[in-house]
Structures are given as structure tokens and as C-alpha cells.
Chain A
Amino acid sequence: MSLFYVSDCILRDSLAMDATPVVARERVSRQMAMHEEQYTDLKPFRIFIGSWNVNGQSASVSLGEYWLASDPTPPDIYAIGFQELDLSKEAFLFNETPREEEWLQACVHGLHPNATYVKIKLVRLIGMMLIVFIKKELEEYVTNVAAETVGTGVLGKMGNKGGVSVRFDFHNTSICFVNCHLAAHVEEFERRNQDYHDICNRMVFNQFKPPKFIKDHDQIYWFGDLNYRLTDLSTDSVIKLLEAKEYHLLLQHDQLKIQHNAMKVFVGFNEGEIRHKPTYKYDPGTDNWDSSEKNRPPAWCDRVLWRGGPMKLIQYRSHPKLKISDHKPVSALFDASIKVVDSIKYRKLYENVMKKLDYLENEFLPQVAVDKMEISFGSLSFRDCVTEFLTIANTGQVPVKFEFIKKPNHDSYCKEWLQIKPYTRMLMPGEKLDVELEVCVDIISASKLNAGIEKLYDILVLHLDGGKDLFITVSGTYKRSCFGCSINALTRMKLPVREISDQMFQDLQQNKNLEDYPQCWSIPKELWILVDQIFKFGMLQEDLFQQTGLHSEFQCIRDTLDSQFTEKLSGSVHSIAEALLLFLEALAEPVVPFNFYHRALESSNNFILCKQIISEINESHRHVFYHLIAFMRELLTHSNYNKLEQKLLATVFGEVMLRQSPEDQKSKTISVAAKQSTERKKQAFIHHFLINDFDV
């Protein structure tokens, strides 16, 4: 169906232009309005238009038989206009008249007896009144009823002349009725033209946005005492032609026909063929032409015109049997085609379009494909780094911004052992990107992994902006290591860490059931081996602790320490020296425990206080401390060869033996000056023990 094609294109276009789906939907709604014919059927309804200038008479006659109900079939809608309803001063000055109710009742009683009607609206301006009735069962299809009046009389605005109008929507067709009384007198035809234009310009239904004018309606019925006369003919000659039924000849002199043909007035309107006698001017109570002094020539003052459609004129006539006025009433009967919404067609169309729109909106959600939902990093230990790639491809129809997002109660979008590069990026449709995920077990995560409070397992949330989330599972196996263990745990392990039971390892890391695991070493065996290796093979080595080792040698040293107690570690002295420092740095609790850290710094200018602190710390820590001090002092005895100085050793070892707890570090940002001062204090603390004699 063409509609779907249209809406589809529009949606795609607007999405391509980065419009939101909502905007797209609104655009489609306008399109749908233009395709009204696809869901409406034209159905005929009969409309009765009546008009009568009653010359101020009271409603003393029955209107049914000879006017409103003179046809066999009851019309669906009545629009009945009156002019000169009341010619009194009160009516003119105060717009109040008892005639309104009188004539309304006369109409109500005169409506076709074979149907029940309800009044939609009554509007009156002094002598001009318009009443619209509809069959009761059709009332529910009438909406947006409004009425307005325009005066064009004295001063161009008084209401003795002008028009009154009622508009509404019937099913899906907008209808406007205008009842008017234009300027009088034969020579005033241009004034009448002007009145018409004034009514067109000033009849505004302001309650609508944008405001509606008469011209804005599908169907317009314009009627009333238009007051156009016959020109250039004497009363006698008119009457003679009328008796000969030469209406055609007479109408050539009709001002309305002349002005209409000259496009001066009622442009676009139609009028039915006139086959009835002029409706003006009679001696009231008779069918006789005006016999007064003025002896006015007869004229078709009272007319019905229409515009729009489609519609068919059934009748256009006068009703001479109603004689109380100097005018005869007229009526026109139409079969008007009204746009009736086919509820089944409309629903189907509506639902199809909605479905299509929903489908498109879902289709235009960001979409990506990833090459895997689970990423395994294999087996890792302390200081190992493994990189894997995740390919993200934009498989949707719109640009996608992806981002790895934080889960609630998490500080970061991933664990500290993982790095994602890039963690967010815009991808164009069809574009692909390899995201790098790198796992590194550093000092901070090693102790948590050893303790079992952290695992190499996480679910990453890959979020598409404005769309779905994907869960990417990352995992690896952590091979436990003496690096990242505590001194307390290591001194209770008789065997290398990978040889002991999981239960024991977990318990020791979490300081649980310690009574089951007696201490079997005074200092960690791994530490002893590292120191011993340097003692044996590196005492004379220059640049010790200053040159970095090889990573592969470190891995080898680590694995050896974790799996066997050996007499000889492979690798260079520098690698062993670095491993020693890493071992100390990775200790779950530093040699000088966290809770002594601040006191140690404060006491760093006083050797007595420093010694006091060491005497208070846990025994195994104290053993490690003095073991390291003894080792450093021994190194210094060879300073001729290894060129080591007290201050350098004190700095290097101070940094790893005195550490602030991670929680403590998080809370403060430290200035460079404060950092340097801290480093000096750490150095000073160790330095005391290198230069002074003391008893262990």
C-alpha cells in the first residue's frame, strides 16, 4: 500500500537526519491525514436548507406542511435561516426578542414528523437567526460545533445586516452554514458584494488553532435574503415576463447572476436553476405583488448557494403558501456526500501503520554484534599480564555509542585487575572495532586474590546508548603465589604455596583457624631463599637494587618459590634482587604493619622510638625486619665492591617495608612536598638501624 511506502520513506529519512522516532511519528501522522480517502467512504446525507425573511411577523403559522416537512423523506440535517425576525428598536438596541423562542418553537414543531431531531445550535444577531437540527441518531457524529456572527449594518458593524454562521464536523466532513441579510435597495449591489466579503473576512472561529474561516470547510451552504434585485426593468415588464414564465430572460437581469458571473461575489459557489417565482415582494397575506405606493418590482432576493461537495441538489424552490411576510420562504434540498470513516478500514490501516512504526523503531534501535560473550584469560599468577580482544561490530542501522558501564555499588566499570581500551566509542553502521582487554595481577589485586576475597571473574555490562545491554563474562584462573601472601601465613606453611591444601591456604590468608597451623618458620622460607641467593651470589654486584630484572626471569623465580624450596634460583642477581623487593612490596601486611605506619613516620627522627616500635610489632614481622637489616648491613660491608650506600638501601627498603594501607591512600590526595617528606621519613626510619648499634 502506498501509505506504508510513504511513511516508511519518511521514517527512514527522518532517522537518517537524526530526528527522533517521535518526530518521525508525528510526520507520519500528517501523511496519514493526507490519505484520508483510504479509510473513509463517501455516504450521502440529506440536508434541508431553509431561508425566510419574516418581516418582523410573529410565528403565527405552522411551518411543517408547506415548508419544512413538504417532502416525503425526512432530511438528516436542517439549517433554517430567518431574517427580519424582529424589527423593533429593542431588538436592534439590546439584541433581545421574544421572537427567537417563538420561531424556534415553530421550527421544532414544523420539522419532519417521521424523524426525531435535536438542535445542534442556534445563533442570532438581531433579526438574523440560524438554527441547525440533526436527526437524533446522527448527533453522536457531530463534533466541534461553533457559531459566530458578523454585523455589516450601520457603521459597517451593526447587526441589522450581516451574517450568522454555524460550523461543525459531521463524521469526517467539515460543514459551515451561513445565513445572511445583505444591504437593501436596488442600486446597492456593490454594497451587497462588500457585505459578502466582510462576512467572509470577519467570520472567524477563533476557538480553533489555527482559527477557521468560512472558506476552510469542506462544504459551505450560504443562504438568506441576499437582496440582489432585477435591474433595468420596470415593474410592469417584470410582471409581464413572469406571467409568460420567461424566468430565463428575467434572470439575465438578476444582479446576483451578473455579479457572480463577473466574479465579484460568491466566487466558487454554485446555485441551482431557479424555476420558482420571485420571492419578493408580496402584499402580506396574499400571493399578490406589492401594491403599495413604492410598487417595487419583484425580485429573487432569497437565495441558496453552496460550495464544496460532492453534493447533489435535489430541490430548489419557494413556498408561496406561507403568506404572512412580504417574502416567501425558500428551500434547497441536497444529497451531500459526507466522509464517513470506515472503522474496520481505519483500524486496520491505523494498526498496520502503528505496527510498522513500532517495528521500525525497534529496527532502528542500536544493534551490535560481538565475537564472543565470554572471554577467558587462562591461568595467571602474580605480575602476569594477558591481553584478549573483543570485536564489536555495529550491525544496526544507526550510529552506536557503546560504553562499558558501572554496575550499581561498583566504583568502576571493571575490576582493578582489568583494563579495557577503549571502554567507550562511537561506531558507525558497519564499523568494527577490536577492544583490548588486559588482565594484570598487580600488588593490590594479588593479596585479594590470594585471600580468596577476589576472583578472576567479572560480568561486564556493555551498554549501547539508547538501546540494550550485553553482559560480557571475563574469567581466568589465578595461580596462587607467595607474592601477595602475609608473613604470618608464609611462616606457617611448611611446603611451598602450591603444595599446600586449598583449605589451609584460604584459612591462613584470612587468619582463620590459626591454631591448626603452627608456625614452622621464623621468617618466610621464600624470603630466606631470596636473601640467601643474593648473599651467596650477589654481595659484590654493583647497581644492586637499582637495575631492573627480566620479566621472564621473574616469572621463573616466582614459580620456583611457589612450587619448591631450592638451593639455587635461576636468573640474574638483579632479577632476584627485584623479586625480593616485589616480595616485600606485595606482602599482604608490610614488614612494619599498617597500624604502626603513622607512628613510625612520626618517630623517624628518634632511634629509641623506632626501636620501641619494632619491639612492639608481631614476632614474625620483627624477625623479618631484623633479618633484612642484618642483610643490608652485610651488604654495606662490601660497599667497596658493590658501591652501595646506607642512604640508598634505606630509601629502597624503606619504601617497601613501610607502607600505608590502601584504604588510607584512597582517602587523601598527597602533595609532592608531602610525598617527599614521607619518603625522607621512611628512609630515616631504616637508616637508624643501619648506622647505629643495637641489641636484637
Chain B
Amino acid sequence: MANSVSGGQGGGGGGPYNYSYIFKYIIIGDMGVGKSCLLHQFTEKKFMADCPHTIGVEFGTRIIEVCGQKIKLQIWDTAGQERFRAVTRSYYRGAAGALMVYDITRRSTYNHLSSWLTDARNLTNPNTVIYLIGNKSDLEAQRDVTYDEAKMFAEENGLMFIEASAKTGENVEEAFLETAKKIYQNIQDGSLDLNAAESGVQHKPASGAAGGQLPHRLGGGDSGGNKSDCAC
């Protein structure tokens, strides 16, 4: 019986707006690499031209769907200026995902990655998923860091890696979603302990209050395009 999808008219599972998990993300990297633009592109699906430097920590949220699970992402976008580094370090704690961003047109931002990585490793828990993003992939002519060397850096350090463009939106969605997918897999295979204080994940049991009234098939994730990118 093809009755594998929970929810639907039978009640029980939730509608599309009930999420089961909250994941905390941080976005780190040098000033001007486009951290806030990536966040904006992800939450608003728009490019923010003339984005002012972030002086503080911006906050964004979006509900996504991974492996049929609805997950609320809480994203903390940190100031990249060196003088704020000491303060922004305090935001790493309890992050389930860290998006570490550099600018493919500015080598210095790439050279500083090891310092960002050290912070990320020291200040988060061992299961925090660190995703390396080479931003501004639309500016191919000004490229200063090759894909291959960044890929190698990522592999050497066990990071996931993608080149993206906050301007065109290319691969932005992928970076955020794949991070969530990896975190979700860590939960599934038990390597991420939800009860640990700093897992960066909150479990929100489905209330069922709004269940049973929505079409289950599509909300459940087996519609058209979304199925293929889920391997679990």
C-alpha cells in the first residue's frame, strides 16, 4: 500500500507550516564577501545591491523541507570586520551549521579561511556542519581563487564546498539546503545528539493541530522536482 506519507486527511502529521526541527546557522567570513547578501538571497530570493556592512549580527529565518521534514532555519549573519571578531565569536556557540564564506575575486578573503575555520572548530561542537562557500561566482572575469584549490582546501579540512552567487542566486539555495540535509542525516544516524546542550537543533514535536486538512502528497515532498535531491 502506498500509504507511506503521514498527515493528509487522516490527521496525525502536520500541515506544511508545522516544522519538526529548528536548526541554528551562523554565517562567517571576511568583511565584504557577501554574507548578508547570501542570507538575503536565501530568505527573500532577491539580491540586495549596495548592502551596508553588517555592524552586529543580523537574524533571518526560513522554513525549508529536507527529506520530507520541515525545518526552520534560524540564521545568524555576523559582522565580518576584524575589530568585531572578539564579539562575534560568542555567536558560534550552539550552531548546527556554519556557512564559511570567501570572495572568489579577493584572495585575501580566501587566505583568511584557516583563521575562520579555527574559530569555527574551536567554538562549535564537533558535529557542526561547516560549509565552505566561494561567493561572487558571477564575477568569473575577476576570479582570484580557482575552484580546484578551494575544493582541495575543503577536502583537506573535511568541509562541504560550493561556489555560489548571491547576485544571481546560483547555488545559494543548494548551500543552505545541503547543510540542513547533512545535519538531518547526522540526526538520523545518531551522530548528532539532540539532547546535547549545544547541538544547535531543537526538536519540535508535531502538534497535529493543523494536520489533516492539507493535501499530503505534495506537502510530503514526493511531488515533481523535489524528490530527487533527497537520498535518505
Contact = CB atoms under 8 A, between A and B. Distances in A.
B219 interface: yes
Given A33-B213, A341-B218, A350 B59 contact: no
Contact of A468 (B11, B56, B87): B56
Chain B interface size, under 10 / 10 to 19 / 20 to 34 / 35 or more: 35 or more
**Chain B CB within 10 A, most for which of A26, A29, A40:** A29
B11 A469 contact: no
Interface in B64-82: 79
B59 A346 contact: no
B3 interface: yes
B167 to A, nearest CB: 19
A29 B8 contact: no
Contacts, number: 135
Given A208-B11, A459-B83, A144 B218 contact: no
A212 to B, nearest CB: 9
Given A36-B215, A142-B2, A407-B90, A468 B44 contact: no
A209 B61 contact: no
A565 interface: no
B2 A25 contact: no
Given A350-B218, A408-B90, A30 B213 contact: yes
B24 interface: no
B224 A209 contact: no
Interface in B198-215: 207-210, 212-215
A147 B145 CA distance: 64
Contact of B61 (A145, A343, A362, A471): A362
Interface string B179-216: 00000000000000000000000000001111011111
A461 interface: yes
B56 A469 contact: yes
Interface stretch (B15-23, B136-144, B156-164): B15-23
B58 to A, nearest CB: 5
B60 A362 contact: yes
B111 to A, nearest CB: 25
A357 interface: yes
A29 B17 contact: yes
Contact of B5 (A143, A373, A473): A143
A468 B58 contact: yes
A143 B216 contact: yes
A665 interface: no
A355 interface: yes
A346 B16 contact: no
Contacts of A143: 2-3, 5, 8-10, 216
Interface string A23-38: 0011111101100100
B106 interface: no
A471 B58 contact: no
Contact of B17 (A28, A344, A468): A28
Contacts of B12: 209
Contact of B15 (A29, A346, A461, A462): A29
Interface residues of A, number: 52
Contacts of B58: 468
Contacts of A40: 215
A26 B8 contact: no
A269 B209 CA distance: 32
B55 interface: yes
B63 to A, nearest CB: 6
B10 A343 contact: no
A26 B210 contact: yes
B62 A358 contact: yes
A341 B215 contact: yes
8 contacts: A26-B15, A26-B17, A29-B17, A142-B2, A172-B215, A373-B55, A461-B56, A473-B83
Given A169-B9, A462-B56, A471-B56, 9 more contacts: A30-B213, A32-B16, A39-B215, A207-B10, A208-B11, A354-B17, A407-B90, A459-B84, A471-B87
Interface of B: 1-3, 5, 8-12, 15-18, 43-45, 55-63, 79, 83-84, 86-87, 90, 207-210, 212-219, 223-226
Interface of A: 22, 25-30, 32-33, 36, 39-40, 139-145, 169, 172, 174, 207-210, 341, 343-344, 346-347, 350, 354-355, 357-359, 361-362, 365, 373, 407-408, 459, 461-462, 467-471, 473
Closest 5 CB pairs of A and B: A25-B17, A29-B15, A33-B213, A470-B56, A140-B2
